[in-house]
Structure 1
Amino acid sequence: MIDLRRLHVLRAVSHYGTVTAAARALHFTPSAASQQIRQLARDLGVDLLEPQGRGVRLTPAAESLLAHADAIQAQWEQAEIDLRADRGAPSGVLRVTGFPVAVSVLLAPLASRLAERHPRLSVRITEAGVPESFDLLFEGEADLAVVESTPHSPPMSDKRFDQQPLLDDPFDLVVPDAHPLAGRDRVDLAEAACEPWIAPVEQSPCRRHVLSACGAAGFTPDVVHHARDWDVTAHLVAHRLGVALIPRLAHLTPDLPITRIRCAGNPHRKLLTCTRGAGHARPAVAAALHELRELALTAVA
Structure 2
Amino acid sequence: MLNLERLRTLDALARHGSVSGAAEGLHVTTSAVSQQMAKLEREVGQQLLAKNGRGVRLTDAGRLLAEHATRILSQVELAQADLEAQRGQVVGELRLGAFPTAARGLFPAALCHLRDRHPGLRVHTAEMEPAAAVRAVLRGDVDLSVVLDWYNKPLPVPDGLSRAAILDDPADVAVPAAHPHADRTEADLEDFADDDWVTWGEAQFCDEWLLDTLRSKGVEPRIAHRAEEHATQLALVAAGLGVCVAPRLGRGPLPAGVRTVPVRQVVRRHVYAVWRADADRRPSIRAAVDALRTVGARIV
Q: Aligned partners of 2:139 and 2:245: how far apart in 1?
A: 34
Deviates more, 1:77-86 or 1:222-231: 77-86
User: Structure 2: which amino acid aligns with 1:289?
Assistant: V
Q: Deviations over 1:185-214 (max 9, x none)?
A: 332211111111111233744222222222
Is residue 173–residue 244 contact of structure 1 (8 Å, CA) maintained in 2?
A: yes
Q: Deviations over 1:138-174 (max 9, x none)?
A: 67664332133599x88421x3x44444344333211
User: Structure 1: which amino acid aligns with 2:192?
Assistant: A
The match for 2:158 is 156
Q: Aligned partners of 1:276 and 1:72: how far apart in 2?
A: 15
The match for 2:90 is 90
Shift in CA distance, 93/66, structure 1 to aligned 2, threshold 3 Å:
closer
Shift in CA distance, 119/80, structure 1 to aligned 2, threshold 3 Å:
closer
The match for 1:21 is 21
The match for 1:243 is 243
Q: Aligned partners of 1:99 and 1:7: how far apart in 2?
A: 30
Is residue 10–residue 69 contact of structure 2 (8 Å, CA) maintained in 1?
A: no
Number of paired residues? Answer: 293
The share of aligned pairs that are identical, in percent, is 30
The match for 1:275 is 275
The alignment partner of 2:218 has SS state of coil
Is residue 200–residue 228 contact of structure 1 (8 Å, CA) maintained in 2?
A: yes
Shift in CA distance, 272/11, structure 1 to aligned 2, threshold 3 Å:
farther
Q: Aligned partners of 1:123 and 1:101: how far apart in 2?
A: 22
The match for 2:292 is 292
Is residue 98–residue 127 contact of structure 2 (8 Å, CA) maintained in 1?
A: yes
User: Structure 2: which amino acid aligns with 1:199?
Assistant: T
Structure 1 stretches lacking a partner, 5+ long: none
Q: Post-superposition shift, 1:36?
A: 7.2
Task: Trace 1:1-301 onto structure 2 (pairs within 5 A).
Answer: 4-26=4-26, 27-29=29-31, 69-116=69-116, 118-130=117-129, 133=133, 137=137, 142-148=142-148, 155-157=157-159, 159=160, 161-202=161-202, 204-254=204-254, 256-299=256-299, 301=300
User: Structure 2: which amino acid aligns with 1:72?
Assistant: I
Q: Post-superposition shift, 1:137?
A: 4.7
Is residue 77–residue 277 contact of structure 1 (8 Å, CA) maintained in 2?
A: no
Q: Aligned partners of 1:6 and 1:166: how far apart in 2?
A: 36
Shift in CA distance, 10/273, structure 1 to aligned 2, threshold 3 Å:
same
Is residue 167–residue 271 contact of structure 1 (8 Å, CA) maintained in 2?
A: yes
Q: Aligned partners of 2:243 and 2:68: how far apart in 1?
A: 50
Is residue 156–residue 162 contact of structure 1 (8 Å, CA) maintained in 2?
A: no
Which stretches of structure 1, 4 residues or more, deviate above 6 A after TM superposition?
36-42, 47-65
Q: Aligned partners of 2:104 and 2:24: how far apart in 1?
A: 30
User: Structure 1: which amino acid aligns with 2:126?
Assistant: E
Is residue 172–residue 247 contact of structure 2 (8 Å, CA) maintained in 1?
A: yes
Q: Deviations over 1:31-78 (max 9, x none)?
A: 6577578779976xxx98899998777799988876654443332122
Q: Aligned partners of 2:173 and 2:283: how far apart in 1?
A: 40
Deviates more, 1:179-188 or 1:219-228: 179-188
Shift in CA distance, 7/119, structure 1 to aligned 2, threshold 3 Å:
closer
TM-score by length of 1: 0.76
Is residue 147–residue 274 contact of structure 1 (8 Å, CA) maintained in 2?
A: yes
User: Structure 2: which amino acid aligns with 1:129?
Assistant: M
TM-score by length of 2: 0.76
User: Structure 2: which amino acid aligns with 1:156?
Assistant: P
Deviates more, 1:120-129 or 1:98-107: 120-129
Q: Aligned partners of 1:193 and 1:91: how far apart in 2?
A: 52
Q: CA RMSD in A?
A: 3.9
Is residue 169–residue 248 contact of structure 2 (8 Å, CA) maintained in 1?
A: yes
